[in-house]
């Protein structure tokens, strides 16, 4: 049998009730590491854009070239 011990507290939620007033406080872990190598060109984004990789421009894009409508030929996506 494997035993797991958790000794680091990363996230907490505190609920305080006073009369009819309830306060919920959520605390999460601090900032994460750098976002990595992911530049996204989204200046031409439209409703329901799909992110894709454009090899000739060496960028990820979200624009009107690929949307949920163009990928499904107007179907429900």
pLDDT (tens digit, 9 = 90+) per residue, 18-70? Answer: 788 878 787 777 777 777 778 899 999 999 999 999 999 999 999 999 998 88
> Considering the domain boundaries, does residue 58 fall inside one?
yes
> Considering the domain boundaries, does residue 65 fall inside one?
yes
> Considering the domain boundaries, does residue 11 fall inside one?
no
How many separate domains does the chain show?
1
Question: Distance (Å, rounded) from C-alpha 37 to C-alpha 51?
Answer: 15
Identify the band that residue 3 occupies on the pLDDT scale cut at 50, 70 and 90.
Answer: confident
Question: Distance (Å, rounded) from C-alpha 63 to C-alpha 77?
Answer: 17
pLDDT at 4 > cutoff 70: no
Residue 59's domain comprises: 40-71
What was the pLDDT predicted at 18? 79
The verdict on pTM exceeding 0.75 is: no
- Nearest CA to 42 out of 68, 65, 63, 66 is that of 63
> Considering the domain boundaries, does residue 76 fall inside one?
no
pLDDT at 1 > cutoff 70: no
């Amino acid at each position: 049998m494997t035993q797991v011990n958790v000794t680091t507290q990363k996230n907490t939620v505190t609920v305080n009730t006073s009369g009819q007033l309830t306060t919920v406080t959520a605390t999460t872990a601090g900032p994460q590491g750098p976002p990595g190598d992911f530049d996204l060109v989204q200046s031409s984004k439209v409703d329901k854009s799909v992110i894709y990789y454009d090899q000739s421009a060496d960028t990820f894009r979200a624009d009107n070239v690929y949307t949920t409508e163009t990928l499904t030929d107007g179907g429900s996506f």
